[in-house]
Amino acid sequence: MKRIIALTIVLIYSVITFAQSNGSTGIKGMNIGVGVPIEFRDLKAAGTNIHLGFDCSYPVNDNFALGFYISAKGGFLGSFKPYNKYDKFYSMFGFSAGLLMEFGELNNQPFILGLCPGAGLGFLDMDLVLPMEFRFGRAFSNNWYVLGGLAYNVSLAKETLSLEPSIHIGYNFGHKKP
């Protein structure tokens, strides 16, 4: 409940700062990425995930922008030592939402930081997991940006535990003030 309240406050704050932004915008972009989830408690497996996300931030001042991101991912894991010949591959998918911040000169390749404090859900071999994500990156032009990420998926049943490094390439559709 506390996470929902915190995300609601951030979304309201983002809308208010957008109304006061004097025509300059932060990120309003889509990203696509690839992750390598590694499960090391129960399944002992590794695989790959495809990520698709939306990033949005609004400037608070010339050096800081605040907003949110939402992301969806899906993929599979292959077991290192399968239990039997029918139980080799496991599916994984999830959704997450988090805070997105830009630091530095917003019109000149700012740094990007994203945090997801367990706001979302996922399934790893039909075990419910909550994502704890940390994203970091930088814009390398007015339209393109790159993010590296690290997700720690916590199982509610304490059965699985996975770590997922990822990389995301994004395109900013928002027009920046020159």
> Hey, how many other C-beta atoms are within 10 angstroms of the C-beta on 41?
11
User: If you average pLDDT over every residue of the chain, what do you get?
Assistant: 85
Distance CA 148, CA 161 (A): 20
Confidence (pLDDT) at 151: 94
55: pLDDT strictly greater than 90: yes
pLDDT in tens, 73-97: 999 999 888 877 777 888 899 999 9
Give me the pLDDT at residue 70, please: 95
pLDDT tens column, 131-174 = 999 999 999 888 899 999 999 988 888 888 889 999 999 999 87
- For residue 9, pLDDT over 90 is answered with no
Which residues touch 6 (CB under 8 Å, ≥6 apart)? 117
pLDDT band at 5 (very low <50, low <70, confident <90, very high): confident
What does the pLDDT read at residue 35? 96
What is the C-alpha separation between 95 and 121, in angstroms, rounded? 6
What local confidence, expressed as pLDDT, does residue 27 receive?
87
DSSP secondary structure, the chain, as one string: -HHHHHHHHHHHHHHHHHHTSTT----EEEEEEEE--EE-SSS-EEEEEEEEEEEEEEEEETTEEEEEEEEEEEEEEEESS-SSTT--EEEEEEEEEEEEEEES-TTS--EEEEEEES-EEEEETTEEEEEEEEEEEEESSSSEEEEEEEEEEEETTSS-EEEEEEEEEEEE-SPPP-
Q: What is the pLDDT of residue 7?
A: 62
